[in-house]
Structure 1
Amino acid sequence: MKISIGEKLVSYVVLGLFAAIALIPLLGVIITAITPSGGSGGFHIPNTIDLGNFVEAWNRGHFANYLFSSFLVTVSVVIVTTVLSVLAGFAFARLKFFGSNIVFFVILAGLLLPAEAFIIPLYYNLRSAHITDTYWALILPQIAQSLAFGIFWMRNQFMSFPGEVIEAARLDGASDMRTLWGIVVPPSTPSIMTMCLLVSMWTWNEFLIPLVMVSRDELRTAPLGLAFFQGQHATDYSLLASAGIIIAAPIVILYFFLQRRFISGMLGGISSR
């Protein structure tokens, strides 16, 4: 189907408009971050550029500790969620067992529950287990929170995998685990990387669970540390913008390097390689 020049023009105008809506606020934050401290916070081009705002925000906000906590929690959640989601997704997609559909839909119900609905009873449960104010209180709930999506995502991925390949592997004597990790997982890498990136973003940006579960400063994650930093420097817009960029930078960098895999996993599913 041939697209006319007019249709292309309209498409470019609409896409350009949405791109401007997304980029202008981001540009405003970047400009504010390099504006010397003491400004009014309005959107204007500064006369001089002050990159020292990033150093000052880093030192004042103790973001090295907060970023380490976020990195530790995010990596732990992503690794455990990925392994469990791949195993469970393959089981629900390709293995037949009694009650599989019921169990799957019970797990899927986890997607319907917001964190606000269970955060209070969860806090008391973890406190009775004596793991509040530890990294376990940040890691375990977010693994459980991400598993519903991960299992749903990987089940759909494995259901679209050619069944003939799996049957051929079984006829050759391959076990289910050998079939999964040696045959099914390698061409499913784009979808797995997409899931990892989404879980990474959700875990890195999680605010409510760290706010409730930990009180020690050394255990605070980056978004929680940014909130406390904002309370201490509510009128220093340059420092706040610099701190916001510091917190967002790791996920932006991660997406930049994985964007091709992310798009491939969203659109293509099974890799053609």
Structure 2
Amino acid sequence: MNTGRGAGRLVLVALVVVTLLPFADLFVTALHPPGSYPRGLTWPDDPHWSNFATAWRDGRVAGPLASSGLVALGVVGVTLALAAPAGYALGHLRFTGHRVVFALFAVGLVLPLEAIVTPLYHQVRDLGLLDTRWGLVAALVAVHLPFAVFWLRAHFAGVPPELSDSARLDGAGPWQLFRRVHLPLAGPALSPLAVLLFVWTWNHFLLAIVLVDDPARRTAAGALGAFQGRWGTDVPLLCAGSLLLVAPLLPVVVLLHRRLPEFGRPAGRRPTQSRNDVPVS
């Protein structure tokens, strides 16, 4: 048993090292003199901390950071607002034809993004939303919605039916069941999903450069493409700008680490739950 635990810890340590090593390389490279070509993971004799200020000022990082935050918040909000009732309907109500709807979402889940970029571009253009944040939000919601529905469907399908039966005895309809019973219990599924959607949107690159021409209205990853085009020959400044665009994700990743273990717990299985405890009025 101890040998198995030791091996598992070694694997985890190896994974952590492999994950953090590229970021350490970026950080160390960003401290080298501008215009230099550092070789390997070597600490500079005279660290140039001013590279971060230069990248922030000359690369105009503040605009892409704000734009990425607005796009990510919009995608998370709209996706959760659409996926929560859809997952509830597919996972708990089991209406007539729910298998067909579920299969359609499955098709959307397995389609490669590269196969739908051109149709998305034409649809966004026809809606007059090309080169706008709203068009990028709409396209990313369409891309992320199938996964979000699958995620929430798994949660709602695992909620004990006794909770709904008790609420129906008190006169609750389907909408009241969703709003007053199931939605409050969906927190352990909604919070990690929101974090995942935020991270995916922040790091999204392809649609950001296809649908938006202005780097100041793209996501951080899309803005990094324009940043690389300007500072591609100055490796330290490029690394400094990359770290500045990635840094806001660190607290989100910490939140993801804390919230992910909650998903999968049977939220509705509470020993003290009784019919009188269900808030339907």
Give the TM-score of the pair, scaled to structure 1: 0.91
1:229 is aligned to: 227
User: 1:51-200 alignment to 2 at 5 Å?
Assistant: 51-200=49-198
Aligned-residue offset at 1:111: 0.8
Deviation for aligned residue 1:271: 7.5
Q: State how many pairs are aligned.
A: 269
Q: Deviations over 1:177-223 (max 9, x none)?
A: 22222222223212111111111111111111121112234323221
The letter of the residue matching 1:77 is V
- Amino acid in the other structure paired with 1:34: L
Q: Matches of 1:8 and 1:262 in 2, distance apart?
A: 22
Change (3 A) 1:236 1:271: farther
Letter in 1 for 2:13: G
Provide the C-alpha distance between the structure 2 equivalents of 1:66 and 1:85, rounded to a whole number of angstroms. Answer: 28
Following the alignment from structure 1 to structure 2, what is the Cα–Cα distance between the partners of residues 271 and 239?
Answer: 51
- Which of residues 237, 254, 262 in structure 2 aligns to 1:256? 254
- Tell me the alpha carbon deviations over residues 52-75 of structure 1, each in whole angstroms, 9 at most, x when there is no partner: 211111111111111111111110
> Displacement of 1:112 after TM fit?
0.9
8 Å CA contact 2:56–2:241 kept in 1: the answer is: yes
3-state DSSP class of the match of 1:170? helix
- Counterpart residue identity of residue 250, structure 1: P
2: CA distance, partners of 1:133 / 1:118: 18
Structure 1 unaligned regions, length at least 5: none
Match of 2:46?
A: 48
How far apart, in 1, do the equivalents of 2:197 and 2:136 lie? 14
Indicate which of 262, 265, 269 corresponds to 1:268: 265
Distance 1:206 1:99 in 2: 34
Contact 2:30 2:237 in 1 (8 A): yes
Conserved in 2, the CA contact under 8 Å of 1:135 and 1:219? yes
| Identity over aligned pairs, percent | 33
Letter in 2 for 1:29: L
Q: So what's the TM-score if we normalise by structure 2?
A: 0.89
State the alpha-carbon separation in 2 of the partners of residues 272 and 49 from structure 1.
56
User: 1:220 maps to which residue?
Assistant: 218
Q: Is the 2:199–2:252 Cα contact (8 Å) retained in structure 1? A: no
Among 12, 17, 29, the residue aligned to 2:14: 17
